[in-house]
Amino acid sequence: MSDSGDDSEPPGRGEPPLPPPPGAGDANWHAGHDPPPEAGPAAGPASPPVERGGGGAGGGTGATLGPMGPGDVLDGTVRTLVGRWRVVLGAVAAVSIPVQLLFVVVAPEAATTGPVGAFSKGFAAPGAPGAFEPDTGPPVALASLWRAQAFALVQLAVVSPLIAGAVVHIVGGDRLGRPTGVGTALRAALGRLHALVAVRLLLMLLGLIVVATVAVASGALVAGLGAVGAAVAVVLGLAALAGAAGVFVLFATVTPAVMLERLGPLAAMGRSMSLVRRRYWPTLGKVALVTLLVGIVSQILSLVALAAELLPSSAAYVAASTLVGVVTAPLLPIALTLVYLDLRVRTEGLDLAAALDQPEPGGPAG
């Protein structure tokens, strides 16, 4: 519950990293990073799940560290959010609320206008009060629009990875019997922010390359074949979307690799690919399922903000949208952290390594 006792630790260094995979105690494991811990024993026969996170200052969730199916991942996500809501939502709110307030100051028109307002302005007659006319409207409105776009980019590239990193630190600590607090989680994420941002930018660049390639190919097809080319372009676009989703699943566990193993950007991307490739189709199913359900939950909760926009005060919309964002932001990072731990349990015997690493009750901590 309390963060006291954790606050003296340096940023990002409050907990030891997860044990490396069996046989990975060479220089390549933590190249350019922290010295590797002693390599644990090779994975043997599957051991019973180890009871972790059931106590301590953080008020753990009583979860086990063992193989997880899709239902277990969903159940673990809900249990983590409910059982550790003060820490998880506290960490998210500590970042999201100041950022949202800054957004209101930097781009007030965009920050206080939701879908209803944008829709009504977009369809208002030109010159009517409140009509959205960026090309002919006042320079202040156009400047606010550009500031809003820049702010959205910063949120996507910096704020979102920071929140995800803090949530991953909380979930990983709980599952490994090292419950953490809000301050420690945020310091850990800030300490790894350079790697988190670099990974996000690399993935954004990869996505832009895919989109640009499909756009150029579609344009060439339409220009050369007309209506037939347009139909082919639609099929090509759908196929590219499915292919891109299949590729990006390989990087689903990159944030846990950055936070829990303290790897650099490229090493974390390679580590995620290595883990996911070993159980690609089950991981694809879990990631697709949790992404779909998180999207549905987010859309349902967004109705709260939509209803608040109908109220006379714009402050109600800002408050409601911020609250919805705080609740929905940790859902996917929690689920993907559980997917990462499941992969390590199934392929590297992480439950056995964690059990051997856990001190006996009453024994020396270390």
Q: What would the DSSP string read from start to end of 29-42?
A: TTTTSSPPPPP-PP
d(CA 204, CA 137): 32
Calculate what percentage of the chain has a pLDDT beyond 70.
70
Measure Cα distances from 352 to 12, 35, 44 in Å. Answer: 25, 22, 8
Q: Between 70-83 and 85-106, two packed helices, what is the crossing angle to 10 degrees?
A: 80
Q: For residue 3, count CB atoms less than 10 angstroms from its CB and return exposed for 0-12, middle for 13-18, buried for 19 or more.
A: middle
Query: Contact at 8 Å (CB) between 260 and 253?
Result: no
Is residue 176 within 8 Å of residue 52, measured between CB atoms?
Answer: yes
Q: Give the model's pLDDT for residue 241.
A: 85
pLDDT at residue number 138: 46
Cα 49 to Cα 41: distance, rounded to the nearest angstrom? 17
Contact 293, 74 (CB under 8 A): yes
The distance from CA 142 to its chain's CA centroid, rounded to whole angstroms, is 31
Residue 269 is which amino acid? M
Does the pLDDT at position 203 exceed 90?
A: yes
Kindly tell me if the per-residue pLDDT of 135 is higher than 60: no
- 22: pLDDT strictly greater than 70: no
CA distance from start to end of the chain? 23
- What does residue 51 show for φ and ψ, rounded to 5 degrees? -70, 120
Instruction: Indicate whether 270 pLDDT > 50.
Output: yes
Q: Please give the structure tokens belonging to residue 235.
A: 């099929």
Tokens of 284: 């694809």
Closest CA to 50 of 59, 36, 60: 60
Mean per-residue pLDDT, 268-274? 97
Bin 349: left if φ > 0, else alpha if -120 < ψ < 50, else beta: left
Helix (H, G, I), strand (E, B) or coil at 19: coil
| Span 145-170, pLDDT tens digits | 788 888 889 999 999 999 999 999 99
Contact status, residue 33 vs residue 13, Cβ threshold 8 Å: no
pLDDT score of 267 more than 80: yes
Over residues 106-118, the pLDDT tens digits come to: 888 777 766 555 5
Mean pLDDT for the chain overall: 79
Q: Which residue has the higher pLDDT, 166 or 55?
A: 166
H/E element, 255: helix 254-260
The two tokens of residue 129 are 């009060």
